[in-house]
Structure 1
Amino acid sequence: MGAYHAQLMDDLLRVAPPYSLPHEPDEDVPTVPRVKAIAMVTACLMHEEPTAFGLTTAEWTEHLWNELADNQGGVLLTLLVGATIPSVGAFLDKLLGDSIEGLANRQLAEMDPDEAEACL
């Protein structure tokens, strides 16, 4: 059964819509590395911080649910077989990580420079 699910996941990755592309940084605007962006958003989602990059927990939750809604088949397969196939979990990690990094850097680009520096 594991080989069947692995084949389904391979097929899905070939036809899945592309991941959200990370924000292309402007040289004059501060950017946040992916790892730090994910850590800051995770702290916000766990209510350890009130906001991350100017967005509340509710706003981050809505953004991430919308990101998942764009690829419901991929998310469903990830949840169903993620425990047995590590590469499937990597699919969801990539999808959400790219989304967090992209939105965090877009938010930074729209902030006042002092406010953006304070977020980092």
Structure 2
Amino acid sequence: MNHMLLTSSTSKAGVCNLAGINAMELLINGILKYGGQRDRLRAKAFGGARMVSGLSDIGQQNSDFILHFLEQENIICEGHSLGGETARQLKFWPSSGKVMQKIRGDAAIETLTTIDVAPDIGNEIELF
């Protein structure tokens, strides 16, 4: 199952990064709540693959966001594997910071297909 977080949105007012910023602040505050020290935080970033062809590149937007966020917050990014077109499988050991990554060669890129639907022919009664 693919999970995507759209970290920013675009509107007439410009780009808004509040969703991504909020998610990261919740994560950081959760770590601090359990005794983490902000000056000792380190990050590794994975993901951001373009999993659905034909749509905007949400993965690239998320990748750009996280690297920029970490830089702005002075959190050291010890490594990253971002982008591409295939899924990743990760194993992470929090106590040591060790990460093992496997690129999933069997994960095909989903393609967006448009299907023409005949117009409804009915009596305009809507059941719900």
More helix as a share of residues: 1
TM over 0.5: no
Structure (1 or 2) with the larger CA radius of gyration: 2
Q: TM-score, normalised by structure 1?
A: 0.25
- Return the structure number with greater relative CO, CA threshold 8 A, min gap 6: 1
Normalized against structure 2, the TM-score is what?
Answer: 0.24
